Amino acid sequence: MGINKFLSFNNSLLVIFFILLSISREGLSTNLKRVKRNDLVRCGLTESVCKWTCRLGGHSGGFCSPDADGGSSCICSEEDLEKYVCGGDVGPEIAGYSCAGFCQAKGRQSGNCDLIKNECACTKEYLQLSHIKCINDEVCSVFCQYKERKANGRCEGPNKWDCKCYSMKELNLL
């Protein structure tokens, strides 16, 4: 069973949505009719909250639009965030880390910036629960030393998510 079933990006967004909904709720009128609410949380303090909640949803951005009643609503762009992760004022190294992290947040193993299209391209492989050992090489090494009784461990494979354990002989240390 994959880690994406437990830490699904969509489930996280649903939780955030319900938290924001409960915070911004003004209530119901006495006859239980629905009362129009302004977007108090995302547009009440600063427009950047709107922009970042839209980005959490996979949109490239968002802005607060004034309503006829004097309030405001958060409007998310309809462009995918993948198009903007690798562009902008950041250098290629930071863009690469951002793209890989963005793809991992979506449940993919990694991602790279496509320099021709200037957008983030995620790998097809999904993260699995077994990949948790390769959060970094040290976790893999400790797993191999304590669980497998080997000398060391390294994260290997196409996207460096496979923990491989090595004996001293395999490391040529004997």
Please check whether residue 173 lies inside any domain of the structure: no
Query: What is the C-alpha separation between 46 and 29, in angstroms, rounded?
Result: 28
Mean pLDDT taken over the chain:
78
Which range of residues forms the domain containing residue 35?
3-76
Digit-coded pLDDT (tens) for 89-147: 678 888 888 889 889 888 999 999 988 888 889 999 999 998 999 988 899 999 999 99
Q: Are 154 and 166 in contact (CB under 8 A)?
A: yes
* Residue written as token pair 């950041």: 90
Q: 75 pairs with which residues across the strands?
A: 63
Domain count, the chain: 3
Q: Which residue has the tokens 């948790």?
A: 132
For 16-71, list the strands marked E by DSSP.
Answer: 62-66
Q: For residue 158, give the CATH number of its domain.
A: 3.30.30
Note whether residue 59 is domain-resident.
yes
C-alpha separations of 127 from 66, 86, 105 in Å = 41, 22, 10
> Is position 24 within any domain?
yes
Q: Considering the domain boundaries, does residue 115 fall inside one?
A: yes
pTM check: above 0.75? no
